C-alpha cells in the first residue's frame, strides 16, 4: 500500500503536445513503454462526399496526458509522435489529479461538449447539483445567450464548455 501512495505522490499528470493527427499513435507508443496515458476521445460523425461515418477524434487536438514522475520525462520525449511538454510560466505544466478525474467524468457523460481556445473571463464558481456530472465544480460563463459550465484546464490555454440546464447548478 505504501508503494501505491509513494507512486501517487511522485507521479503527476503532464499534458504532452504531439505531431498533428498523431495523438493515438503516440498514446499507443507510450503505453507500450509502460507509461500511463490518457487520451480523451469523442465520437462524432464525419461527412465525406459519398458517405457518413462515426469516428473517434481527440477532444483536444495534438494533446494527450501522461502520468509520470520527473525522471520519466526524457523517456516521454523520446517517444515517436511526441513533440514536447507544455510549459506554463517557464516550467513544465502539470494537471492536478482532480482535473483529470473531472475530464474523465465529462467524457463518460452524455453532456454535449465544446472546446474553445477563447480566454474566458472568470465568473461565478458553481457546483453541479444533479445528473451524471453531480459534484463537478467549474465557472459559469455567458456564451451565446445560454447558461454553460466552463471547466478551465489550467496551463493548456483552453476551456471545455458543457451545455447544462441552469436548474442543475448551484452556487459553490
C-alpha distances out from residue 74 to 8, 25, 81, 84, Å? 20, 18, 14, 10
Could you read off the pLDDT tens digit of each residue along the chain, which spans 172 residues?
445 545 566 899 999 999 999 999 999 999 999 999 999 998 888 888 888 888 889 988 999 999 999 999 999 999 999 999 999 888 999 999 988 998 898 888 877 777 766 555 557 677 777 777 777 777 766 554 455 666 666 666 777 777 766 656 666 6
Choosing from 95, 124, 157, the residue where a domain stops is: 95
My answer on whether 10 and 82 are in the same domain is: yes
Q: What is the pTM of this model?
A: 0.71
Report yes or no: 151 and 162 within 8 Å, Cβ to Cβ: yes
Residue 129 in grid coordinates: 447539483
DSSP 71: G
The confidence score (pLDDT) of residue 48 equals 82
My answer on whether 127 and 147 are in the same domain is: yes
My answer on whether 76 and 105 are in the same domain is: no
Residue 147 in grid coordinates: 447558461
Q: What residue numbers bound the domain in which 90 lies?
A: 2-95
The confidence score (pLDDT) of residue 25 equals 97
Choosing from 71, 95, 119, the residue where a domain stops is: 95
The confidence score (pLDDT) of residue 145 equals 42
My answer on whether 75 and 112 are in the same domain is: no
The confidence score (pLDDT) of residue 108 equals 85
Amino acid at each position: 500500500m505504501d508503494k501505491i501512495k509513494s507512486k501517487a505522490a511522485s507521479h503527476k499528470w503532464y499534458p504532452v503536445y504531439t505531431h498533428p493527427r498523431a495523438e493515438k499513435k503516440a498514446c499507443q507508443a507510450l503505453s507500450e513503454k509502460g507509461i500511463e496515458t490518457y487520451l480523451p476521445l469523442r465520437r462524432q460523425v464525419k461527412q465525406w462526399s459519398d458517405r457518413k461515418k462515426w469516428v473517434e477524434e481527440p477532444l483536444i487536438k495534438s494533446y494527450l496526458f501522461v502520468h509520470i514522475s520527473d525522471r520519466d520525462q526524457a523517456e516521454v520525449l523520446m517517444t515517436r509522435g511526441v513533440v514536447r511538454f507544455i510549459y506554463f510560466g517557464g516550467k513544465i505544466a502539470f494537471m492536478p489529479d482532480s482535473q483529470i478525474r473531472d475530464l474523465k467524468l465529462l467524457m463518460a457523460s452524455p453532456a454535449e461538449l465544446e472546446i474553445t481556445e477563447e480566454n474566458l473571463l472568470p465568473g461565478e464558481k458553481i457546483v453541479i447539483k444533479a445528473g451524471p456530472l453531480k459534484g463537478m465544480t467549474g465557472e459559469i460563463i455567458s456564451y451565446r445567450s445560454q447558461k454553460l459550465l466552463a471547466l478551465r484546464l489550467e496551463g493548456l490555454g483552453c476551456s471545455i464548455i458543457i451545455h447544462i440546464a441552469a436548474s442543475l447548478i448551484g452556487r459553490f
